[in-house]
Amino acid sequence: MSALAVTEADVLARLAGVRDPELGMSIVDLGLVYDVRVEAGRVAVTMTLTAPGCPLHDVMTEWVRAAVAAMPGVARCDVTLTFDPPWSPDRIRT
């Protein structure tokens, strides 16, 4: 598989397997993933958490980074945490 074969949709599918440990829901279904960009095997994920100051911030970003970095064709994954706009329950996919 070449690096170019990885798409935003592939990354989102992978991230759908990362679950919030308390809620047991996928971070994609929770609406925590704001943006995914793929360029020449380098993936940039912009995500949020349900609350600023959440102690899970390092855990969640590490999970996301590790999950994406393990995908074939991914050379590097950078995860950016943002609270702008802040997360709200309206972002949950039901």
Partner 1 sequence: MTGMRAARPSVTLPLAYLASATLAFVLAAVATPWLAPELAGHYYHPRVLALTHSITLGWITLTIMGASFQLIPIVLARPLWSERLAWWQLGLMIVGVVGMIGHFFIGAWSGLVWAAALVALAVGAHLVNVALTVRGLQRWTFTARMVTMALAGLGLTTVVGFVLGLDKIFRFLPGALFANLHAHVHLALLGWVLPMMIGVAARVYPMFLLAPEPAGWPGRVQLWGVGLGAPAVALGLCGVPGLLVAGTVSVAAAVTGHLAWILTMVRSRKRPALDTGLRLVLTGALALSLAAVLGVALAFDLVAGPRVALAYATLALGGWVSLTIAGMLLKIVPFLVWYRAYAPWAGRAPVPALAELSCARGERLASRLLSAGIVALAVALWIGDPAWIRVAGSVVAAGALALAATLARVLTHLRRRAPRAADALAVRTA
CB of 58 to partner 1, least distance (A): 5
Q: Does 52 bind partner 1 (CB under 8 A)?
A: yes
The residue from 1, 4, 66, 75 that contacts partner 1 (CB under 8 A) is 66
Q: Does 75 bind partner 1 (CB under 8 A)?
A: no
Q: Does 12 bind partner 1 (CB under 8 A)?
A: no
The Cα 45–Cα 49 span in angstroms is 13
| Strand ranges across the sheet with 42-47 | 33-39, 42-47, 76-81
* Stretch of residues binding partner 1 (CB under 8 A), selected from 1-9, 32-40, 84-92: 84-92
The Cα 9–Cα 63 span in angstroms is 18
Burial class (CB in 10 A: 0-12, 13-18, 19+), 85: exposed
CB of 37 to partner 1, least distance (A): 20
